[in-house]
Chains A and B, each alone.
Chain A
Amino acid sequence: DAGVTQSPTHLIKTRGQQVTLRCSPKSGHDTVSWYQQALGQGPQFIFQYYEEEERQRGNFPDRFSGHQFPNYSSELNVNALLLGDSALYLCASSPTRTSGRASDEQFFGPGTRLTVL
């Protein structure tokens, strides 16, 4: 059973550039969330995609955008990169929250480490 996968593993960009990160959810999961983890801190929620739409968003600027494809995989795009965008970007997946279930366990991928110079 394949877990959550992310690509690339590492990425180096310069200020002002744009970047796209990719995530494939765990088998049987259709909901994908993205998190940013700065050095020495806990992950911060960016947004969540379900049924190819952004369902929930954290406190991140519009430079952060995403997409979900019909096969449930997802992309995170960051435009006009700033030095402060350097972080570990984590993708998490979870199954459809069916009727009667208040929550579901989220599973994380290995992350993409982005360095902005």
Chain B
Amino acid sequence: GIQVEQSPPDLILQEGANSTLRCNFSDSVNNLQWFHQNPWGQLINLFYIPSGTKQNGRLSATTVATERYSLLYISSSQTTDSGVYFCAVERMNYKLSFGAGTTVTVRA
């Protein structure tokens, strides 16, 4: 099956800092989503981005499908940005394959 690798595994930030999370995948995909999992386990949709660039407030994402990677940018981080960020991809088979996640800790 398709392999999804996220880096870094852990990220510690000072409030106000910027950061970049990376997601590499092993094959062409028709769906790529970024999620933020809160401490209660809820997966919150951040971006549905099979290709191109999107922005939503302080968050933005870019997927370069031909090179099989996606980047999630967090600007001016806040303590509420803490949590686990997951990248998930789908390759024409209806199921999402998740990476292991990046755990982000933002310190005040």
Listed in ascending order, the chain A residues whose CB lies under 8 Å from chain B are 31, 33, 35, 37, 41-45, 48, 55-56, 58, 88, 90, 92, 97, 102-108, 110-111, 113
Contact = CB atoms under 8 A, between A and B. Distances in A.
8 contacts: A33-B94, A37-B41, A42-B100, A43-B96, A45-B97, A48-B95, A56-B93, A113-B41
B108 interface: no
A110 B98 contact: no
Contacts of A33: 94-96
Nearest to A88: B41
Interface of B: 4, 30-31, 33, 35, 40-43, 45, 48, 50, 86, 88, 90, 92-101
Nearest to A97: B94
Nearest to A42: B98
A24 to B, nearest CB: 16
Contacts of A88: 41
Contacts of B94: 31, 33, 48, 55-56, 97
Given A42-B86, A48-B95, A58-B95, A105 B42 contact: no
Given A55-B94, A107-B45, A42 B101 contact: yes
Contacts of A41: 100
Contacts of B95: 33, 45, 48, 56, 58
Q: Is the interface of A mostly helix, strand, loop or mixed?
A: strand
B42 A108 contact: yes
A22 to B, nearest CB: 17
A68 to B, nearest CB: 14
B63 to A, nearest CB: 12
Contacts of A48: 94-95
Nearest to B90: A103
B43 A108 contact: yes
Contact of A103 (B30, B35, B41, B98): B30
